[in-house]
Amino acid sequence: MDQHAIIIADQQGIITFWSKGAERLIGHPAVEAVGKKLDLIVPHEFRARHWHGFGKAMDGGPVSSAGQFFDLPVQCQSGETKTFRGQLHVLRNEDRKTIGAMAIFSTSD
């Protein structure tokens, strides 16, 4: 599983889980990433679009790309933007209330 970055964020976009694979692929150690906003990894030029979609998803709106594989630009600790292949998932509790989001991705090589 270390070849996969698994990142979980709450409804406010605060990182609550950062896997060993995320440490390896993105460069930030978990101790530095957990508790930070997703802006840590969302490249500046994509932030407005990211937060618009994230907000709609957290409000319970439809997420057409959920579970679909796509290429995702990620801002790494080095400052470099890399493209990873991955999926996004909306997380819900037993009552189907949205409680956060999860991204799972890996390098495309």
In the numeric block, the tokens 């999926």 are attached to 87
Confidence of residue 66 (pLDDT cuts 50, 70, 90): low
- Which CATH number characterizes residue 53's domain? 3.30.450.20
Rounded to an integer, the average pLDDT of 60-81 is: 84
pLDDT at 106: 82
Based on the structure, what is the number of domains in the chain? 1
What average pLDDT does the segment 71-85 reach?
A: 94
Question: What digits encode the pLDDT tens for the residues 20-64?
Answer: 999 999 999 999 999 999 999 999 999 999 999 999 989 987 776
Decide if pLDDT at 79 tops 60: yes
Domain that holds residue 71: 5-107
pLDDT of residue 69: 86
